[in-house]
Amino acid sequence: MTPLLREKLKAVGVECFLPDGANIALNTALEAPCSIKWMNIEFGLSMGAFSYAVSGYFFNVTIGRYCSFGEDVQIGRGDHPTSWLSTSPIFYLQQPMFDLGREFPRANDYHKYKPTVPEGVDPTVLKRTIIGHDVYIGHGAFVRPGVTIGHGAVVAAHAVVVKDVPPFAVVAGNPAMIKKFRVAPQLIGPLLQAAWWRFAPWQMEGLDVSQPASILSELRELAETTLPYTPSPITIRDLEAELDAQGGRPRSDGTA
């Protein structure tokens, strides 16, 4: 992250408070307006419009629109192999595990060492985590890689989500369990069908969003008469290329 990139993000509709030097994957794709505040983003992220996250770790995640994430949320952290001799990454990482100098015993051996992993054997499996639209995740929640959290769901603070969460479910605990549903069961289907998150707030101006049951007909009418809000995606790679063309200096290591 650089001051130029941070300012460019703000100009194109992305709030960002990441400090200078912070990493953000170049394949990160964003819909404006949104906010990535102090998020640590690795291996890519897709975030829909009107969503925000305060802080935490996000790895290989797709996030829908109108999502609200609290502080220190952890999503997509990879597993370690549990059936190998050791669970330590030192036996499969193809780069040094620690960034060290050479003034310690056997430092040369440490820096020369590169583990051999048998062909076709993967210590971990890369999984995409999918967060639907209008999902609320509280402070300190942990979501395992590969999990899908349905539209309208709520994840309580410090919950540990290890399996898929149905639409509009409220989950809490370790492991997270369904405590209730946000809306009456008969409303879930119609709300999913209405897919109101396709529209911007100003397109729904005048609707009483505090009473979802009473505006179903208006949401259906909106879907039939109004074009959805469809901003062009913003990618960090494209912004870096634009800044480079203007005299900026993008990173070459896959992050910005």
pLDDT greater than 60 at residue 250: no
For residue 19, whether the previous peptide bond is cis, meaning omega lies within 30 degrees of 0, is no
What phi, psi does 39 have (nearest 5°)? -65, 140
Q: Are residues 131 and 192 in the same domain?
A: no
Determine how β-strand 154-155 pairs with β-strand 169-172.
parallel
Q: Are residues 117 and 2 in the same domain?
A: no
pLDDT greater than 90 at residue 90: yes
Q: Are residues 41 and 69 in the same domain?
A: yes
Q: Are residues 222 and 97 in the same domain?
A: no
Element (H, E) at 245: helix 236-245
Condensed to tens digits (0 to 9), the pLDDT of residues 27-60 reads 999 999 999 999 999 998 999 999 999 999 999 9
User: For residue 174, which of 124, 126, 140 has the smallest C-alpha distance?
Assistant: 140
pLDDT greater than 90 at residue 141: yes
Q: What is the pLDDT of residue 162?
A: 97
Q: Are residues 38 and 67 in the same domain?
A: yes
d(CA 255, CA 214): 47
Q: What is the 3-state secondary structure (H, E, C) of 169-218?
A: EEEECCCCEEEEECCCHHHHHHHHHHCHHHCCHHHHCCCCCCCHHHHHHH
Q: What is the pLDDT of residue 181?
A: 98
**What is the mean pLDDT of the segment spanning 109-123?**
92
Q: What is the pLDDT of residue 255?
A: 64
Q: Are residues 206 and 170 in the same domain?
A: no
Q: Are residues 107 and 38 in the same domain?
A: no
CATH number at residue 39: 2.160.10.10
Which amino acid would we find at residue 129?
Answer: T
**What is the mean pLDDT of the segment spanning 153-171?**
98
Residue 43 Rama label (left phi>0; alpha psi -120 to 50; beta) = left
Q: Are residues 35 and 136 in the same domain?
A: yes
d(CA 241, CA 237): 6
**Residue where the block lists tokens 């707030």:** 201
Q: Are residues 177 and 150 in the same domain?
A: yes
Structure tokens at 109: 């051996």
**Residue where the block lists tokens 């992993």:** 117
d(CA 21, CA 14): 18
**In angstroms, what CA-CA distances link 89 with 60, 94, 98, 123, 203?**
19, 9, 11, 9, 50
Determine how β-strand 52-53 pairs with β-strand 14-16.
unpaired
Condensed to tens digits (0 to 9), the pLDDT of residues 182-203 reads 999 999 999 999 999 999 999 9
d(CA 140, CA 131): 16
- C-beta atoms surrounding 102 within 10 Å: 8
pTM of the model: 0.90
Q: Are residues 131 and 205 in the same domain?
A: no
User: For residue 33, which of 57, 7, 52, 58 has the smallest C-alpha distance?
Assistant: 52
Average of per-residue pLDDT values in the chain: 94
Active-site residue among 80, 111, 139, 158?
Answer: 80
3-class SS at 7?
helix
pLDDT greater than 60 at residue 231: yes
> How sure is the predictor about 247, in pLDDT bands with cuts at 50, 70 and 90?
confident
Q: Are residues 94 and 219 in the same domain?
A: no
Domain region containing 53: 1-79+125-182+232-256
Count structural domains, the chain. Answer: 3
Q: Are residues 105 and 225 in the same domain?
A: no
To the query of whether residue 80 is one of the catalytic residues in this protein, the response is yes
